Amino acid sequence: MHHPMRVVALDLDDTLLRSDGTISPRTVDLLRAWRAAGNYVVIATGRPPRNIAEALPDDFHQAPWITYNGALVFENGVKIYENLMSVEDTRQIVSLVQDSLPSCTLGLEIDDILYLNQAAKRPIAYQLANLIEIASAPSAKVLFWHNDFAALDPLLSGLPAGARALLSDKYSLVQILAASADKAEALRFVVERWQLDMSQVAAFGDDVNDVEMVRTAGLGVAVDNAVPAVKAVANCVTRSNDEDGVALVLAELLDQV
């Protein structure tokens, strides 16, 4: 009997990637074997498009990349899907955060460029800008860092209806996206183009932005280092990202093909 899984969908940081940012050779070999057997690989990450290729072997650069937690999807470097925030919503959010948190370092992702409202102490590539002026095109996300999420309730309750906040304790990171943008929605779009459905997907993740993808996949897999919210919706928990957790499940799936 053929196993129904045809697609593996992989979060990058702290899931597919080890703590040093590399993929284990064993995992790469198994991913290649998975594709050689006629199956598909999808990358599903919170990263912007510009920071994905460096993490992957060259032969996975043509695979579909779900970027910005589902706001944009690229295949062969071509955009095939977008779910962005409107200019009006983006400007409203920027004003709201800057009024509520005047000293906050605020970021805005538009057209694969990160714009910040002030210099950051973080080792990331960005351009300084007046964010209200820059927000003249739809945006993939607004982001900022904050150490006390509970204190943000009044701010986040004021978001426009077209947006939602994703709060990651792991990085003290707040990401604001289009209300319907998430990895699961984007992944559903990708697999339906192959005339498959989510029951044929094995999805791997570790953080809050992976919850819906792991919950709605036919096989939802949490790595052992995942946050409790991901483990709660997963069908199984594999070993951590530093212990070849993804490879262990891939080997089992290949045995069942």
- Is residue 23 assigned to a domain? yes
Tally the domains of the chain: 2
Q: Which of 153, 178, 203 is the last residue of a domain?
A: 178
Q: Quick one: 136 and 101 in the same domain?
A: yes
pLDDT tens-digit profile of 211-257? 999 999 999 999 999 999 999 999 999 999 999 999 999 999 999 86
pLDDT at 89 over 90: yes
- Is residue 143 assigned to a domain? yes
pLDDT tens-digit profile of 121-170? 877 889 999 999 999 999 999 999 998 999 999 999 999 999 999 999 88
Give φ, ψ of 121 to 5 degrees. Answer: -90, 15
In angstroms, the CA 119 to CA 203 distance is: 36
In angstroms, the CA 213 to CA 131 distance is: 31
Share of the chain above pLDDT 90, in %: 93
Q: What is the pLDDT of residue 236?
A: 97
- Is residue 2 assigned to a domain? no
Looking at residue 188, which CATH number applies to its domain?
3.40.50.1000
Q: Quick one: 172 and 185 in the same domain?
A: no
- Is residue 104 assigned to a domain? yes
Q: What is the pLDDT of residue 257?
A: 66
Distances (CA, A) of 124 to 37, 48, 101, 201: 38, 12, 22, 33
Its domain, for residue 103, covers 87-178
Q: Quick one: 65 and 111 in the same domain?
A: no
| Tokens 């993490």, residue located | 55
Q: Quick one: 97 and 59 in the same domain?
A: no
Q: Which of 178, 197, 226 is the last residue of a domain?
A: 178
Q: Which of 160, 178, 196 is the last residue of a domain?
A: 178
DSSP string covering 92-144, please?
HHHHHHHHH-TT--EEEEETTEEEESS--SSS---EE--HHHH-SS-BSEEEE
pTM for the full predicted model: 0.94
Q: What mean pLDDT do residues 96-113 have?
A: 95
- The type of residue at 141 is K
Q: What is the pLDDT of residue 171?
A: 85
